[in-house]
A and B are shown apart, each in its own frame.
Chain A
Amino acid sequence: MSTTLSNINKQFGKFQALQDIDLTINEGEFLAILGPSGCGKTTLLRLLAGFESPTNGTIEIDQKEVANARKVTPPEQRNVSMVFQSFALWPHLNVREHIQFAMDHHRFVDLSWKEKGKIAERIEDVLHTVGLGDFEKRMPGELSGGQKQRVSLARAIAPEPKLLLMDEPLSNLDAELRMEMRHEIQKLHRLTKASILYVTHDQGEALAMADRIVVMNGGEIEQIGTPEEIYYHPVTPFVATFVGKANLFKGTWDECLFQHQGTGVTWEDYGISQQLKEKNLFPIRPEQIHLSKPVPSENQILGKVITRQFQGKEYHYSIEIDGTVIVAHLPLQEKFEIGETIAITPQFQTAKQAEMIL
């Protein structure tokens, strides 16, 4: 079963929330939609759930059209399920009743369960899968944030939907719990084999869990690719800065040689995408930067250290170069003082060297 969005546009009044979205979610795939707030990612999710209708374009789930500009299949008739940002637990039902509700009402629950009276068994199963076996009688008000999240997940997976939608499910949890829940969600994905569409603004979550990532900005898709592709080979300045937190240098490209604006210092290509080259940009992530004492005789990019933050395994520097500020992460052995003038170079000089380091 796959899900396909073709040429989807969505307007709210005059505001264009989504523009010409073409996307396929493959069977069993974990697809993350990554972007800043207001980029249209939640609208996209709500279109798939059926809570919104497209202005134009079509959506197909399992080779059946569920939405076009004129007709929309409502959410309750789609073979999907959803984990909500606020968890959306029903305050008057206990943990077990949440899953019971889904089993009773979801239209795509396997009939053989109902016929053989195996619903109770299934509920037990799901409760254990998410680790809530001992909490089935608890009310939502008596659960911690992480437990609420587990109830929300259990309710969503119980009917075995073919497509599972997740709307920033971890954003209401604290940092430590978020890391733990990443593992849980990956485990559930392996167990259920459902396609997952996971919306998030946290590039860490997307990179860690997804098979493929769709980076969105301003209602449009910027890049689709595996986490590695997105991270190492961004094709747009937005993806480079949003996902890899890259610093962008301006200059001119001549084949494999980048000449900095103003200084004329040249850096070599390490596998930068054609699109960025056409924009005459040189992206470099904080951990790819090398800092050193300037050598007076050489033509180098020089900057001044503004701040230094100790982060345990490395130092984070912010460095001012001609009025713009770049960020560099360096190992502890190399320590520079605030106010010091330093030379900035890439850690690697050629594409080959870069591949070895990566």
Chain B
Amino acid sequence: MNKDKNYESNQGEMRSRAISSVFFHPMLYKMIAIMLVGIFFVIPILRLVLMSFIGDDGFGLQFYQDILTDNRTWQVLQNTLFVVFGSTIISLLLGTAFAWIVAYTDIRLKSIVQLFIFLPFIIPSYITSLAWVQFFGPAGLLENIFDSLSIPITGWNLYSMSGIIFVMGISHFPLVYLFTVNVFRQIPREMELAARVSGAGRWMSFSKIVFPMALPGIVGGSFIAFLGGLDNFGIPAFLGTPANISVLSTYIYQKVIGFGTSAFNEAAVLSVILGVIAIIGISLQWLVLRKSKRIETMKVDHQPRYYLGKKKGIVESVIWLFFIMTSIFPLLSMVMTSFLKAYGLDFVWENFSLENYAYILTRDSTLDAIMTSVKLAGVTTIIGIVAGTVFAYFRVRKANTATKLMENAITIPYALPGTVLALAMIFTWMEPIPGWNPGIYGSAAILYIAYITRFLVLQVRSGITAFQQVDIEVEEAARINGTNGFGKWKKIMVPLIAPGILSGAMLVFLSALTELTVSSLLYSSESETIGVSILSFQQSGYTLYSTAFSSLIVVLIIAGYFILFAGQKAIRKRKVRSEK
């Protein structure tokens, strides 16, 4: 009787296969996927590069000549390098120090410390800039506090080079931390013990053994901070513009909105320069990391290695003072400012009101901005979950040159500075086919395309990690038990990958929700985003509204993360970890 069943099921299979071979040939899907990746991720970059060469008089180096002989360009380049290197050094020092302390010492409340380390990462950098100004700046909370103690001080003018460098350094140090902390934990403690029994002191064993072994992480994180600095638009836009300090990303923006005769072409040239600097950075990182020996396979060791003893109190105080000064007080100042009746008033009870919130919450344009951003982020997230997860599955299970190249292509729009991507989007989607303008540029559609292109890689990466954690045999076990379709996905795969996919989706959603760089160049009157709206408040001098709006967003973000953690906990409850 089994024999009969076998016969039947295989008959059915033969029939469906005959049909599928015509319409659903796997090659067809592959071709479509490659084409889509080409159109959305590769062609825009090519068109951008082309645009820097082609003007009304045809192909040539005219624009390069114009830009490179302009003194202003060299000033901007110099500013850019100062800002990027300065902030990277700050990120490097802070990131490494925090990573070492969290990985190796026995300080208390590590998980909360870690939460505060990630805070600058979670809150968009333009909001951080705003918060710092409200705390450190002239007439800020710090000045106020000292005034009330009758110690006259002048606030730190953050609308300056030093302001940009510091805020950027603080915003990007979590990247270095993130790359370094697990590398520290993975270095077997025996390595250091071996150095110690060979006669090296503490400092010697750190500098000769631990530090060189952690170098790949430190270098990797620093390069990411470097790229982040090149990419960052929010901080120089908020802090640099009032002081007339331009870096490449803001300078490109100014060119584009300046609408000169060859504005687009010159912006394209600047974008190519910025892109080339970024690519040099990426290549250098790749070269440095390629030579270093990986220790990825080693076990992550969470046990402390240094017991600080009496010094523990001092170290913890320094850490918390740092968080208070860089995160808690600035954010608090921003929130307090947002309640002021008028800018510059003292922080006393009589001066507080809800007027600013009432204003932004009743005004159509801010409500529209919130709607636009939520819709953009929602659509980007949903498309990301579907396309990103499907691609990640094939990338992990059918690893080949084609999928690898496609992954690289998907990474480009995220790795490139946002202004460069925005410009590439304009050139590509203004007239997708030369001579045909379907009105994508100038409507919200271009923002949808740009966001999906920019953030898809985040979903793909988290999808890849999720699938890599599902052993191939776990999936094969489902197949051998008779299901390769709905049953396998519903009962086995989805429950296993859901936590990873969800946290990726959350990252996409929050990144898209507070995005500023790309939307500042692509928004139109009916598609202002939250970031653009806060920027325009700030640039028109409405500090109270921008602080109120920012405070609202910070609350939303923190709420979002709480929902994420709660959701993940609920999922994990069911899933008991299996040690393999």
Residues of A within 8 A of B (CB): 1, 49-51, 62, 64, 73-77, 79-82, 84-86, 88-93, 101-102, 104-108, 110-111, 139-142, 155, 159, 162, 165
Which residue of B is nearest A158, CB measured? B481
**Are A74 and B481 closer than 8 Å at their CB atoms?**
no
Q: Within 8 Å of chain A (Cβ to Cβ): is B408? A: no
A107 to B481, CA, bound (A): 8
Q: List 23 A-B contacts (CB under 8 A).
A: A1-B3, A64-B6, A75-B476, A76-B479, A86-B473, A90-B477, A90-B492, A91-B474, A92-B495, A92-B496, A92-B574, A93-B491, A101-B487, A101-B491, A105-B483, A106-B482, A108-B5, A108-B482, A111-B5, A141-B578, A155-B477, A159-B482, A162-B2
The verdict on B32 contacting chain A, using a C-beta distance below 8 Å, is no
Interface contact A90-B476, CB-CB below 8 Å = no
Interface bits B4-18 vs A (CB < 8 Å: 1, else 0): 011101100100000
- CB contacts (< 8 Å) of B10 on chain A: these are 64, 73, 77
Q: Please report which residues of chain B, range 461-494, place their CB below 8 angstroms from some CB of chain A when the two chains form the complex.
A: 471, 473-474, 476-484, 487, 491-492
Q: Inside 8 A of B482's CB, which chain A residues have their CB?
A: 76-77, 102, 105-108, 159
Contact A106 B474, beta carbon cutoff 8 Å: no
Residues of A within 8 A of B575 (CB): 91-92
Q: How far is the CA of A85 from the CA of B496 in the complex (A)?
A: 20
B-to-A contact residues, CB < 8 Å? 1-3, 5-7, 9-10, 13, 471, 473-474, 476-484, 487, 491-492, 495-496, 574-580
CB contacts (< 8 Å) of A49 on chain B: these are 476, 480
- Does B578 lie within 8 Å of A75, measured CB to CB? no
Bound Cα distance from A199 to B155, whole angstroms = 75
Partner of B480 from the list A64, A82, A85, A111 (CB cut-off 8 Å) is: A82
Question: Closest CB-CB distance, A136 to chain B, in whole Å?
Answer: 15
* B474: A residues at CB distance < 8 A: 88-91
Complex alpha-carbon distance, A101 and B13, angstroms: 22
| Docked-complex contact A105 and B2, CB < 8 angstroms | no
Residues of A within 8 A of B1 (CB): 110-111
Alpha-carbon distance between A348 and B496 when the two chains are bound, in angstroms: 62
How far apart sit A142 and B579, CA to CA, in the bound complex (Å)? Answer: 9
Give the secondary structure class of B's interface: helix
Partner of B580, one of A51, A86, A106: A86
Q: Which of B5, B481, B484, B495 contacts A81 (CB 8 A)?
A: B481
A108 touching B473, Cβ below 8 Å: no
- Quick check: B5 and A89 within 8 Å, CB to CB? no
Q: Quick check: A75 and B2 within 8 Å, CB to CB?
A: no
Q: A155-B477, A162-B2 are in contact. Are A107 and B495 (CB under 8 A)?
A: no
Residues of chain B within 8 A (CB-CB) of A73 are 10, 13
CA distance A318 to B3 in the complex (A): 56
Contacting residue for B477 out of A74, A79, A88, A104, CB 8 A: A88
A145 vs chain B, min Cβ distance (A): 10
Chain A hits for B9, CB < 8 A: 77, 107
Contact of A84 among B3, B477, B484, B579 (CB under 8 A): B477
Q: Which of these, A50, A91, A105, contacts B487 with CB under 8 Å? A: A105
Which chain B residues lie closer than 8 Å to A162 at the CB level?
2
Count contacts between A and B, CB distance < 8 Å: 111
Write out the residue numbers on chain A whose beta carbons fall within 8 Å of the beta carbon of B579: 141
Residues of B within 8 A of A50 (CB): 479
Chain B residues with CB below 8 A from A104, complex form? 487
- 7 closest pairs, A vs B, by CB? A88-B473, A91-B578, A139-B576, A105-B482, A106-B482, A88-B477, A140-B578
Interchain CB contact under 8 A, B480 and A91: no
- Flag if B496 contacts A80 (CB, 8 Å): no
Partner of A77, one of B3, B13, B473, B576: B13
Query: Contacts A91-B578, A104-B487, A141-B578: A159 and B2 contacting too (C-beta < 8 A)?
Result: no
Which A residues are in CB contact (< 8 Å) with B477?
82, 84, 88-90, 155
Given contacts A76-B482, A106-B481, 7 further A-B contacts (CB under 8 A): A64-B7, A75-B484, A76-B479, A89-B477, A91-B575, A92-B574, A105-B482
B480 touches A75 (CB 8 A): yes
Q: Please determine whether B484 and A76 come into contact, CB atoms closer than 8 angstroms.
A: yes
Complex Cα–Cα for A86 and B578 (A):
12
A62-B481 in contact (CB<8A): no
User: CB distance A75 to B479 under 8 Å?
Assistant: yes
The minimal Cβ–Cβ distance linking A69 to chain B, given in whole angstroms, is: 16
When C-beta atoms are compared, the residue in chain B nearest to A79 turns out to be B6
Nearest-CB distance from A65 to chain B (Å)?
10
CA distance A91 to B578 in the complex (A): 6
* Residue of B473, B484, B487 with highest tally of chain A CB at under 10 A: B473
Q: Which residue of A lies closest to B14 (CB)?
A: A71
**Which listed residue, A62, A90, A111, touches B3 by the CB 8 Å rule?**
A62
Q: With A and B bound together, what is the CA distance between A107 and B7 in angstroms?
A: 11
CB distance from A93 to the nearest CB of B (A): 8
Distance in Å: Cβ of B37 to nearest Cβ of chain A: 26
Task: Known A102-B481, A105-B481, A106-B482; judge A85-B473 contact (CB<8 A).
Answer: yes
Q: Is A101 within 8 A of B480, CB to CB? A: no
Q: What is the minimal beta-carbon distance from A87 to any residue of chain B, in angstroms?
A: 8
Measured between C-beta atoms, what is the minimum distance from B399 to chain A in Å?
Answer: 14
Contact A141 B576 (CB under 8 A): yes
Residue of A nearest to B572 (CB): A92
A159 CA to B477 CA, complexed, in Å: 13
Most B CB within 10 A of own CB, among A74, A79, A88: A88
Chain B's closest residue to A165 (CB) is B480
**Within 8 Å CB of A81, what residues of B?**
480-481
Residues of B within 8 A of A106 (CB): 481-482
Q: Which of B6, B13, B480, B492 has the most CB of A within 10 A?
A: B480
Max chain A C-beta neighbours (<10 A), residue from B1, B3, B471, B477: B477
**Nearest CB on A from B573, distance (A):** 11
Chain B residues near A105: list those with CB within 8 A.
478, 481-483, 487
* B6→A84 contact, CB < 8 A: no
* Contact A86:B5 (CB < 8 A) given known A75-B480, A76-B480, A107-B482: no
A105 and B477 alpha carbons, distance in the complex (Å):
11
